[in-house]
Amino acid sequence: AGRLTVIVARSAGYCYGVERALQITENALLSSRTPIATLGPIIHNPAVVNELAARGVSAVDDLDAIAAGTVVVRTHGVPPAVIQEARRRGLVVVDATCPFVTVAQRKAAALRDAGYVVVVLGERDHPEVAGLAACAGPASVVVEDPVQLDRAALRGLRIGVVVQTTQSYASLSRLASALAPLGRETLVYNTICEATQQRQEAACEVAGEVQLVLVVGGRNSANTRRLAALCREIQHRTYHVECAQEIQSEWLQGVDSVGITAGASTPDEEIEAVVEAVLRRAAKA
């Protein structure tokens, strides 16, 4: 548009796990005659969650908020005990956990059962990490950065590692390097989703080509925040927005090129709306 070039990352927006979860929820809406609730937001995108709420799918924090009906397990998964308790209460359980998260949970449980102390690399308060830690057992350790490791407590032990699926390879590499001299035996399962890596690589490519980056997605989305952080390391003029309305005209002043990427919970229409908003502002300049 005039002097402005807009580049959208080659890999951006919905991933397989998100599309699958939304389709599972849609099928539940069509087939169920009972109330439907999700344990937490089905994906980390406020607009999508609000749209589902308008159609009768409520998002609740725990099982006590569901008297009867169907409960949909979110993409991030939950501790296995939560699913067992839901079934004990007579609720219909529809599991929309991302298959990659399910694999990570199984790896964590296998390490626990084999006698390893499991280190979970991920954001401590993230729901996916809560599920991984539950599968890894009470002796598991959650770290967001290798500097948080209690090296004395781990020295000489058999250590196993699983990773939140939206972490970066760089973070995993740093953790593996930190653990290598500590454990008597260290077994690392790389449970990072391949789509996450592709999205991060594509975002970094764009950030290196433009004067400003817009990262689109929910602020409660871990993978979107990580995209913004990675892009900011390359292009300091990086802004995380949830929607097109948040774009500020002064951001675009003196800018000839804008890169756009989006988190795994961001629908195409939100990406397109951001592109259109940028082009409209360029046309008026």
DSSP one-letter code for 242 = S
| Active-site residue flag, 128 | yes
How far apart CA 146 and CA 132 sit, in angstroms, is 18
Catalytic residue among 26, 128, 144, 272: 128
Q: Roughly what angle, to the nearest 10 degrees, separates helices 16-31 and 99-113?
A: 110
Cα 175 to Cα 4: distance, rounded to the nearest angstrom: 41
Helix spans in the chain (H): 16-31, 46-54, 80-88, 99-113, 127-136, 151-154, 169-179, 194-207, 222-234, 268-284
The count of C-alpha atoms lying within 13 angstroms of the C-alpha of 35, restricted to the half-sphere facing its C-beta, is: 12
End-to-end CA distance of the chain: 10
Task: Output b/e per residue, 244-269; b: 16+ Cβ within 10 A.
Answer: beebeeebbeebeebbbbbbbbbbee
Residues involved in catalysis:
128
